[in-house]
Amino acid sequence: MTGSEAVQKGRPREFDKEEVLDKALHVFWERGYEGTSLSDLTEAMGINRPSLYAAFGNKEELFKLALDRYVEKGPGSVHRDSLAQPTARLVVQNLLTSLATSLTDPSNPPGCLAVQGALSCGSAADSIKQELCRRRSTGEQNLCQRFERAKAEGDLAQDADPAGLARYVMTVAQGMAVQATGGASRADLLAVVDMAMKAWSASKD
């Protein structure tokens, strides 16, 4: 190995991994998994293909990393934060209200990366579609477990159906994401939240 080759091999990456991952997330969010090409990614991230492969693996692995970041530090984090609310009603209200805000944040593409990604995936990207469905299912299961705890604590009636409630809330949330992608405003989505909370109150009467 020549001296120049050794320097090249030992040279650290000349980019911030989290920064370029955020750029990849934005592209995937805006164009969907199948609608995003490697050229789109390298251009947005400001790196070449060898650097992309070395740092993140292939396109599928990069998407999963971007999705992890979306869930942990982006709009997807509202699910985790909402589960920590002290009552089931506040869990739902915080979740839907926070989603209405994040889904219409002008600094981000409209809608939800996880919902939009699954809707736009064809058979060639079935593994990505299944991954997104799995993650959404996990979110629903977490919500169900929170409602089960609320029922055990007396916060929900003994005849309450935690699984059915979780499915209802997630259906509303995913519908809001689709509406946001189609151009619904924050006011539109907050009106949906208001109606959902009225339905929640009516179910306890």
Return d(Cα 181, Cα 96) in angstroms, integer: 16
Residue 115 in contact with residue 177, Cβ under 8 Å?
A: yes
**CATH 3.40.50.300 matches 76-205:** no
Which amino acid is it at 38?
L
pLDDT at 188 > cutoff 60: yes
CA angle in degrees (0–180, nearest 5) for 60-65-67: 95
Q: What is the pLDDT of residue 120?
A: 58
CATH of domain 12-73: 1.10.10.60
Residue 65 in contact with residue 56, Cβ under 8 Å?
A: yes
For a pLDDT cut of 90, what percent of the chain falls above it? 47
Over residues 198-203, mean pLDDT: 80
Domain boundaries, the chain: 12-73, 76-205
Residue 146 in contact with residue 163, Cβ under 8 Å?
A: no
Over residues 190-197, mean pLDDT: 96
pLDDT in tens, 18-60: 899 999 999 998 888 888 899 999 999 999 999 999 899 889 8
pLDDT at 65 > cutoff 70: yes
Query: Tokens 């699984």 map to which residue?
Result: 163
Element holding 96 (H helix, E strand): helix 88-103
CB environment 117-130: b (16+ within 10 A), e (fewer): bbbbbeeebeebbe
